[in-house]
Amino acid sequence: MDVKRRSILGTSLAVVVAMGLSACGGGGDEDSSASKTVRVTLANHVWTENIKQALPEFEKKTGLKVEITQLGEDQLSDQYNVKLNAGSGDIDVMMYRPLQEGKLFAKNKYLADLSDQVKSNKDWDFSDFQAGPVEATSYKDKPVGVPIITEQEVLYYRKDLLAKAGLSAPPKTLDELKAASAKIKASTPGVAGFVARTGKSPAVTQFSSFLYSFGGDFVDGSGKAAVNSDAAKQAYAYYGGLIKDSGPANVSTDMSWPEAMAIFTQGKAAFYTEADSLYKNATDPAKSKVADKVGFAPFPAGPAGSKPYNIPSWALGINDASKNKSNAWKFIEWATSKEQTLTQQKAGVPGARTSVWANPEGTATYPKDLVETIAASTKEGVGHDRPLVVKVPEAREIVGQPIVDAIAGKDPAAAADTANDAFQKFLDDEAK
């Protein structure tokens, strides 16, 4: 799991919320043992807190009762590993991470196929969801989840440092980013031109947008390892070289987002590529010394254009072993409706619905330039930010090694060749 996602999860706890009426409602369950109580397991997250506040509305409307088990991320994974592997049906709706465990869950048939459900209500409108997040919540072209929280990689920058350097606009290409970063570092003592994640595993997700923008990916069209393609080698060399040459002095190779963000918010860097979902860390005066000087721009274009990731960090799915699928879907349909997505987005939780981003109410609480940046990012966004495999942590360690080597000044091409051999072996083993 990416550390950035963990940051927005609270202290681990388990609570059961049982509110509303248990009078008749729902109906149409596929099993006679279906319950009027929908058992929902959610992560500690602001999305969860918001949905809990709105539960009485759902329960009054449907006559169903919702029991929420709310857990910290590690406890959530532990519960899923135990209960889903045992075929337990006492979870109906599950909040999960599509890019971290989605393929594992779908391959093991833990997630129900939602093909019929997503077509059942035209007003709910599945076509309203962005393509990248839908891709990430599908398995073998069938929807197995509905995205609830999204993020894209964008360029954070210091307006004052750009003006001081005589730059009238943020860089639009990776070549311009490299030149601007070098110029600012050379002319502004104690300030790095660029900062980003450097840790072997944490950097993979943010490196992905560089990889795509150079025209590469983690695997090729036939599913073979591709981290030593010409495009990938260029991306590794660029990312590592940018941090090595224009990054903070004596930069470590174990930074995740909190360390990189701290450098930026303490006024020690001009440019920073990171998930848009973390923007309040940079714009909140209580957290950032440069809150009033931060701007946002689309991810700079490489040889293949601007190709940032556009992914769902969390989604809702139905446990395939549940005997209460019909009512479970009613909860998901409500929780991911246009109305609930708008309410969540107004509270600072970015959703996956195109119509909500097009609604001025849905963007009123966001910086104007960030809204414009997100709009640009979702058009060409790629629906994954890490290898799409079952054993994601192991894969990230492999494909992240050339990042560390490049930052350390080692030959990124040789490192990519070594990583590709290891990654192909990993893929072969996983396919057995």
Mean pLDDT of the chain: 92
pLDDT band at 73 (very low <50, low <70, confident <90, very high): confident
Question: pLDDT, tens digit, for every residue of 335-367?
Answer: 999 999 999 999 989 999 999 999 999 999 999
Residues 380, 360: Cα–Cα separation, whole Å: 22
User: What's the total number of domains in the chain?
Assistant: 2
Is residue 241 domain-shared with residue 140, that is, in the same domain? Answer: no
Is residue 131 domain-shared with residue 169, that is, in the same domain? Answer: no
Sign of CA dihedral 104, 108, 109, 111: negative
Tokens at residue 378, please?
């979702």
Question: pLDDT, tens digit, for every residue of 254-292?
Answer: 999 999 999 999 999 999 999 999 999 999 999 999 999
Residues 419, 403: Cα–Cα separation, whole Å: 10
Within a domain: 353: yes
3-state helix, strand, coil in the chain (%, to 5): 50, 15, 35
Question: pLDDT, tens digit, for every residue of 204-242?
Answer: 999 999 999 999 999 999 999 999 999 999 999 999 999
Tell which of 358, 376, 394 closes a domain.
376
Within a domain: 32: no
Is residue 211 domain-shared with residue 246, that is, in the same domain? Answer: yes
Residues 239, 79: Cα–Cα separation, whole Å: 37
Q: How far is Cα of residue 206 from the mean position of the Cα atoms in its chain? A: 10
Does residue 113 sit in helix, strand or coil?
A: coil
Tell which of 334, 352, 376 closes a domain.
376
pLDDT band at 23 (very low <50, low <70, confident <90, very high): very low
Residue 337's CATH number: 3.40.190.10
Is residue 299 domain-shared with residue 209, that is, in the same domain? Answer: yes
Within a domain: 7: no
Residue 394 has a pLDDT of: 97
Q: Say if CB 93 and CB 332 are below 8 A apart.
A: yes
Residues 151, 121: Cα–Cα separation, whole Å: 26
Is residue 88 domain-shared with residue 132, that is, in the same domain? Answer: yes
Is residue 165 domain-shared with residue 257, that is, in the same domain? Answer: yes
Phi/psi of residue 121, nearest 5 degrees: -135, 105
Is residue 291 domain-shared with residue 411, that is, in the same domain? Answer: yes
Residues 145, 126: Cα–Cα separation, whole Å: 11
Residue 112 has a pLDDT of: 98
Is residue 243 domain-shared with residue 266, that is, in the same domain? Answer: yes
- pLDDT of 2 above 50: no
pLDDT band at 31 (very low <50, low <70, confident <90, very high): low
Is residue 265 domain-shared with residue 143, that is, in the same domain? Answer: no
Within a domain: 417: yes
349 vs 58, 341, 399, 412, CA distance in Å? Answer: 20, 9, 30, 37
pLDDT: is 32 or 54 the higher one?
54
DSSP annotation of 108 reads: T
Sequence-distant (≥ 6) Cβ neighbours of residue 3 within 8 angstroms: 202, 256, 257, 258
Tell which of 357, 376, 395 closes a domain.
376
- Of 241, 251, 235, nearest in space to 416 by CA: 235
- Residue that the structure tokens 């060399």 belong to: 237
Within a domain: 192: yes
Within a domain: 207: yes
- pLDDT of 87 above 70: yes
Q: Kind of pairing, strands 37-43 and 93-96?
A: parallel
Question: pLDDT, tens digit, for every residue of 302-321?
Answer: 999 999 999 999 999 999 99
Question: pLDDT, tens digit, for every residue of 403-415?
Answer: 999 999 999 999 9
Does residue 149 sit in helix, strand or coil?
A: strand
Within a domain: 23: no
Phi/psi of residue 154, nearest 5 degrees: -130, 170
- Residue that the structure tokens 């490192």 belong to: 415
Is residue 59 domain-shared with residue 166, that is, in the same domain? Answer: no
Is residue 167 domain-shared with residue 236, that is, in the same domain? Answer: yes
Q: Which residue segment(s) compose the domain that 263 sits in?
A: 152-310+383-431
Helix (H) or strand (E) holding 297: strand 294-297
Is residue 114 domain-shared with residue 172, that is, in the same domain? Answer: no
Residue 379 has a pLDDT of: 83
Within a domain: 20: no
